[in-house]
Chains A and B, each alone.
Chain A
Amino acid sequence: MNLDKKVLDKIERENIRMIPGWFFVLKNVFLNACWVIAFLGSAVSFAMLLEWSNADAKLATFWSIGFILLSFISFKSAWRINFKALYKYGFAAMIAFLSFGSAMGFAIYSSKETGNIEIYMEKIPVYKSISPEEVKEFNSEEILENQNVEIKDGSTDLGIDRNETDTNPDITKEADDEKSGEIENKKLLKVEDDGKELEDDDERTTERKVMDQKEDGEDEDNDDGEDLIETEPQVKGMEKERESSAGENEVKSDEDESFKSDTGDANDEEE
């Protein structure tokens, strides 16, 4: 038979050479890199497609769950044999990789502030999305609560020093905007209900007026244009406050008038 001689002669004659080991290493590296690129690319593209298409929640869920199930079945069957068999069952394994990655990518993209996560969350009966109006209401109530705490304790509002707010034009602007209108009215009503609170409030307003007068005097001394520009909103804010405090005083009882008379000089000058 001499098959060995035949084979060796053929190898010699046709100059057949064995493939070097590094070639197989490179081949494995290349194939694995292809897997990774395919996995990442398709995951991102699938997520982007779903994102841009504004897909219905049910449809998107259906695809994601379907892909995951399919990938789980196919990947398990491919993986349990051996890693080399992954190339043989390449299609199944690729579906497994890509679908799992797609589902993950979709979840990541949805979790951004794109609103898609809301679609899913609203399907959960416990969860209820909050409208912007409700958020505003919630915030205004929170501010009121803070305001009450400040009045009772005499502490600062949200950690900002009252004197600082009076002198800093930016803060006074914000403070004036917030406190004007409803907040002040509500505050008034609450003060009417509680006598103690009323007294504290009046004391505070008088203190503030005295402080304002002092500061006005200081500002008048300054001739710098910049300072004047900066003090404009501050003055406006103070005027508003005084008007509101004047309104309060009109509504209030005779006790308030006695306070007015105490600080009468300053108020008369302003008027």
Chain B
Amino acid sequence: MSQIDIEKLSDEEVLPLIKVDKNFFGVLIRRYENRIIGYVKKMGAESQETAEDMAQNIFIKVYVHINSFKKELKFSTWLYGIARNECIDYWRKNKKHAGNISLEASEELMAILKSDEDLALDLERKITAEDVRVAIGSLPKKYKEIIILRFLEDRTYEDIAMILKKPISSVGTLVRRARILFKESILNSKR
């Protein structure tokens, strides 16, 4: 099978090939490495090197547990679930970095939130990336996770529900509360 053909295959179609030859796993790593590193950084990885190390651990865990993957799930959702668990482990080991997101991530988040219809009407346009970073840092972990997954990673409610192992209705409630809390937090930081 040529390289071009493999690239055209979906994630779920590549998985059985990995069981035959582990080199096919490189295809999936190439597809997701940037997204996973970005996600890990947003979730509190203190540096690029740390994020890469975490991403490496995540992919190795994926390889080891590949036989436990269920066909009814999307591979990306399963991958994000493993990445989330890795981030939680990281938070436990490094408590001082638990609430922080990188400045780069906060800038990205600020751009997204300003375009958000619900928030753009109320929020002052003068807020900076630092304000967003502080506001995110002050949020409880579960709301922080929700904001990252929903606004920065642009995951659907169904995906978030699978990643967080919560019902979709709960995810909707969490997103709504996270928005309100974030708005309050950012307004408080401006005052």
Judged by DSSP, the binding face of A is: helix
Q: How far is B60's CA from A6's CA once the two chains are assembled, in angstroms?
A: 10
Q: How far is B67's CA from A8's CA once the two chains are assembled, in angstroms?
A: 18
Asked if A4 and B33 sit within 8 Å, CB to CB, the answer is yes
Does residue B143 face the partner (Cβ distance < 8 Å to A)? no
The smallest C-beta distance from B63 to any residue of chain A, in angstroms, reads 6
Asked if B33 and A1 sit within 8 Å, CB to CB, the answer is yes
The contact string, 1 if C-beta is below 8 Å from chain B, for chain A 1-20, is 10111111011000011111
* B66 partner residues in chain A, CB cutoff 8 A: 18
* A16 partner residues in chain B, CB cutoff 8 A: 60, 63-64
Known contacts A81-B167, A82-B165; A11/B63 CB under 8 A: yes
Does residue A84 face the partner (Cβ distance < 8 Å to B)? yes
* B77 partner residues in chain A, CB cutoff 8 A: none
The smallest C-beta distance from A247 to any residue of chain B, in angstroms, reads 86
Q: Which of A3, A10, A85 contacts B165 (CB 8 A)?
A: A85
Q: List CB contacts (< 8 Å) of B48-86 with chain A.
A: 52, 55-56, 59-60, 63-68
Asked if B65 and A10 sit within 8 Å, CB to CB, the answer is no
Most B Cβ at <10 Å: residue of A7, A23, A88: A7
Most B Cβ at <10 Å: residue of A1, A3, A10, A81: A3
Q: How large is the interface on B (under 10, 10 to 19, 20 to 34, 35 or more residues)?
A: 20 to 34
Q: Which of B56, B64, B165, B167 contacts A19 (CB 8 A)?
A: B64
Q: Which of B26, B37, B67, B166 contacts A5 (CB 8 A)?
A: B26
Does residue A196 face the partner (Cβ distance < 8 Å to B)? no
Asked if A6 and B23 sit within 8 Å, CB to CB, the answer is no
The smallest C-beta distance from A269 to any residue of chain B, in angstroms, reads 98
* B59 partner residues in chain A, CB cutoff 8 A: 3, 7
Q: How large is the interface on A (under 10, 10 to 19, 20 to 34, 35 or more residues)?
A: 20 to 34
Residue of A nearest to B18 (CB): A18
Q: Which of B19, B55, B65 contacts A3 (CB 8 A)?
A: B55
Asked if A3 and B52 sit within 8 Å, CB to CB, the answer is yes
Asked if B19 and A18 sit within 8 Å, CB to CB, the answer is yes
Asked if B165 and A11 sit within 8 Å, CB to CB, the answer is no
Q: How far is B64's CA from A11's CA once the two chains are assembled, in angstroms?
A: 10
* B63 partner residues in chain A, CB cutoff 8 A: 7, 11, 16, 18
Known contacts A1-B33, A7-B59, A18-B65; A81/B166 CB under 8 A: yes
Q: How far is B66's CA from A89's CA once the two chains are assembled, in angstroms?
A: 24
* B96 partner residues in chain A, CB cutoff 8 A: none
Does residue B30 face the partner (Cβ distance < 8 Å to A)? yes
Q: List CB contacts (< 8 Å) of B90-105 with chain A.
A: none
Asked if B60 and A19 sit within 8 Å, CB to CB, the answer is no
Known interface pairs A4-B30, A16-B60; 6 further A-B residue pairs with C-beta atoms within 8 A, sorted by A's residue number: A3-B33, A3-B59, A18-B64, A18-B66, A23-B67, A81-B166
Q: Which B residues are within 8 Å of any A CB, using their own CB?
A: 19, 22-23, 25-26, 29-30, 33, 37, 52, 55-56, 59-60, 63-68, 165-167
Q: Which A residues are within 8 Å of any B CB, using their own CB?
A: 1, 3-8, 10-11, 16-21, 23-24, 80-82, 84-85, 88
